[in-house]
Structure 1
């Protein structure tokens, strides 16, 4: 019986040269791993950005008169440090502001006569709106023209953009998985059609649809495994290259866009998931075709 099964597998494996499905699976998995890595890294970056900005705010003293502006800044700073809602209050050095303005104003940003707002960096003990409202009331009581802006408000467009990237990556992974299943179904049906006479002989010899389906399923699963290894290794090499390039840029946001242990574990499971998906899609397609046609 085992010899007959081996001869049957050899008949079904006549086309050993180039199997298009192997390379299709490899390409699909390569793109899926990259898409999943993009989504996971972007999600981690968004989470890191949100945790970093949570409870952070900036006070801007915008009074035009420099002397009065400094007096108001000192009084506001003292009042903030006495509030229970404020964990820390640090005045922003004018030199740092000048460095931030240099790309637009050049050396003029360091001019002491330039009406640059005095800024105070706040770390709030509680990020609730009520706490922020109390801080804002305490500031405007001393400096009515002052502004209190949360860092989250500044970065909301960036956070929304990152969330959009995560959504696009998730949709991409789902579409690629669906396309892979469709390719496997087409390959399975094409294999059945190519070996129709062989399958009819197997049926006459007593083979059942389940046995025939199992043979094709093994063949397709093996092709999918080969493609998964090729695509997975190629994607791993690409991710390592991208990680090395991103680390060299020194960007704080890109530095947070890491996969982490959970992300790498998820990517490692994708090839296994693809092989299981291919095997399941092949079995369903073959059994239904055999029941309907042969």
Structure 2
């Protein structure tokens, strides 16, 4: 009789699996899944960073608009409102937005600013920063303060302007996280089908091993080791492919020069989390293969 330890060497493993590791489809399937997961996870992290950075920047921010068609009246009320804001309790800082900066902001929509009688009235803007979060009570107090010195003033919380944007970013973040979960499920399903197919094609060999005293756990360990090796090869290739795609996309979006996009840049912790994706894929593949083999063997014999 052949000793059991000799049955479970690498030669027996290759006979049991029935395919060469690198020639079979499983490493490439895992590589594709890992690459897509890395891209989806990077998107989720970028959206989280962008939302968090923008929220921190806008917390406590207040914008005051002086809306008046008369330039002299507008400028006078803007200076009066600026002085009143700087003296108001709870205001950390307040500054008048330069006119040339306003002109650059509105130029994409109305073109070059005109002068003279053809000039389009543009509100004067004051950027203020409060000590704490801006509430309705805070806005009400500021409006009462400015009502006497600047009747044309309109006070708004900066965070209120971007609520729809924050909602869209949050939706995209959850969509990316759902994509990560779906890809994880697809990876487990692919491993499950591969393990069942290998078991079915090697049923006679498995029955012989059982007759020789081999256990289900020993057989499952063979499949687990083979799938783990395939997952390591595919996970490494998928990680490199996914990171390359993330870097290219990051450079493309970085070239836009948009503040909200720039705030979504990935940090060191984010890159480390992306590096853990193939490790999670290997663990998931090995656990799925082991459990699939054990459950299938119980039904076969």
Q: TM-score range by the shorter chain?
A: over 0.9
* 134-143 vs 171-180, which moves further: 134-143
Q: Residue 140 of structure 1: CA displacement?
A: 2.2
* 58-67 vs 258-267, which moves further: 58-67
Give the 3 Å change call, closer, same or farther, for CA 142–41 of structure 1 in structure 2: same
TM-score normalised by the chain length of structure 1: 0.93
Q: 2:139, 2:156 within 8 Å by CA — same for their partners in 1?
A: no
Q: Residue 169 of structure 1: CA displacement?
A: 0.4
* Corresponding residue to 2:33 among 28, 31, 39: 28
SS at match of 1:107: coil
Q: 2:223, 2:289 within 8 Å by CA — same for their partners in 1?
A: yes
Q: 1:95, 1:110 within 8 Å by CA — same for their partners in 2?
A: no
SS at match of 2:125: strand
Give the length in aligned residue pairs. 294
Residues 39-76 of structure 1, C-alpha deviations (whole Å, 9 max, x = no match)? 00111011111111111121111133333333322221
Residues 168-193 of structure 1, C-alpha deviations (whole Å, 9 max, x = no match)? 00000001101111111111111100
* 195-204 vs 48-57, which moves further: 48-57
* 189-198 vs 213-222, which moves further: 213-222
- Which residue pairs with 2:13 in the alignment? 9
Q: Does structure 1 residue 71 correspond to structure 2 residue 82?
A: no
Q: Does structure 1 residue 101 correspond to structure 2 residue 102?
A: no
| Runs of 5+ unmatched residues, structure 1 | none
Q: Residue 268 of structure 1: CA displacement?
A: 0.9
Q: Residue 3 of structure 1: CA displacement?
A: 3.0
- For 2:214 and 2:286, the matched residues in 1 are separated by 20
Q: Does structure 1 residue 181 correspond to structure 2 residue 198?
A: no
Q: 2:17, 2:198 within 8 Å by CA — same for their partners in 1?
A: no
* Corresponding residue to 1:171 among 149, 153, 178: 178
SS at match of 1:142: coil
* Corresponding residue to 2:158 among 141, 151, 156: 151
- For 2:15 and 2:108, the matched residues in 1 are separated by 71
- Which residue pairs with 1:18 in the alignment? 23
- For 2:17 and 2:295, the matched residues in 1 are separated by 22
Q: Does structure 1 residue 201 correspond to structure 2 residue 200?
A: no
Q: How is 1:271-290 mapped onto 2 (pairs within 5 angstroms)?
A: 271-290=278-297
- For 1:101 and 1:239, the matched residues in 2 are separated by 32
Q: Residue 90 of structure 1: CA displacement?
A: 1.1
- For 2:99 and 2:184, the matched residues in 1 are separated by 54
* Corresponding residue to 1:243 among 237, 243, 250: 250
Q: Residue 109 of structure 1: CA displacement?
A: 4.1
| Runs of 5+ unmatched residues, structure 2 | none
Q: Does structure 1 residue 219 correspond to structure 2 residue 221?
A: no
Q: 1:22, 1:226 within 8 Å by CA — same for their partners in 2?
A: yes
- Which residue pairs with 2:48 in the alignment? 43
Name the structure with the higher helix share.
1
Q: 1:102, 1:109 within 8 Å by CA — same for their partners in 2?
A: no
- For 2:270 and 2:25, the matched residues in 1 are separated by 30
Residues 178-210 of structure 1, C-alpha deviations (whole Å, 9 max, x = no match)? 111111111111110000000011011110111
